[in-house]
Amino acid sequence: MKLKDISTTAPEHVSKNKTKGELEEILKDLDKLQNLLYAEGKHSILIVIQGMDASGKDGLTRDVFTSMNPQGVNVESFKEPTKEELAHDFLWRIHQHAPAKGMIQIFNRSHYEDVLITRVHGMTDDKTARQRMKAINDFENLLTEHNDTHILKFYLHVSHKEQLKRLEERLEDPQKMWKYNANDFKESKLWEKYMKYYEDVFKHCKDIPWHIVPADDNWYKSFIVASTLQKTLQELHMKYPGMKK
């Protein structure tokens, strides 16, 4: 897979207004499906969101998941490991946030950072990265096979041009200035390295398939993620449990 060959924008034939209308209906349905998931308590959902800086991870979480009951949805953002976390294996801090039955857990960045940014900056060699990717596959299979966790992995595929535009907006828009981090521009210069290692992740961590989501158009990105989650929940054929005796 070559990310440069995959479009970062919505297909030309897709209507923005129609799609946004469909998204509103999907979000209403997701509210009902999430309540059913919580009530039945047999399955769990893990949503992994990866993407470059300014690809819209935070906005996606807000636009899709705030329509649901917050009692049944958790969000965890994985940043630079703490001293305590570094004293354990790299999945230790991740496993603590795996979803319980009945819950939707969102990873805003995830265990994949340990085979992405660490490789870009030379903190992890290829041999260690391969070992970690095998551990990631085992971890994800453990969740699916032994806890009935359904994992949806999304890569928000933003173009480099659009990323730079969004980063520059953080310098000018008062509502976005709080997101500004000078380091983001330094990371952006390493774009080709990130693409290389993302492609390697897609190649070696595909037991659970990846969804490559065009992310230049926020409305389309939200629609793709919401409709994928809706389909996954519908296919569980869930039922409300009867009255407790």
Taking only the tens place, the pLDDT of each residue in 138-192 is 999 999 999 999 999 999 999 999 999 999 999 888 888 888 888 899 999 999 9
Taking only the tens place, the pLDDT of each residue in 110-133 is 999 999 999 999 999 999 999 999
Residue 228 has pLDDT above 80, yes or no: yes
Residue 244 has pLDDT above 80, yes or no: no
**Domains of the chain as residue ranges with CATH:** 16-234 (3.40.50.300)
Check residue 153 and give its pLDDT. 98
Coil, strand or helix at 97? coil
Taking only the tens place, the pLDDT of each residue in 10-45 is 999 999 999 999 999 999 999 999 999 999 999 999
C-beta of residue 96 within 8 angstroms of C-beta of residue 66: no
Task: State the Cα–Cα distance between residues 192 and 8, nearest whole angstrom.
Answer: 16
Q: Average per-residue pLDDT in the chain?
A: 96
Q: How far is CA 188 from CA 165, 207, 215, in A?
A: 11, 29, 16
Check residue 235 and give its pLDDT. 98
pTM: 0.96
List Cβ neighbours of 57 (8 Å cut-off, separation of 6 or more): 49, 50, 51, 108, 109, 156
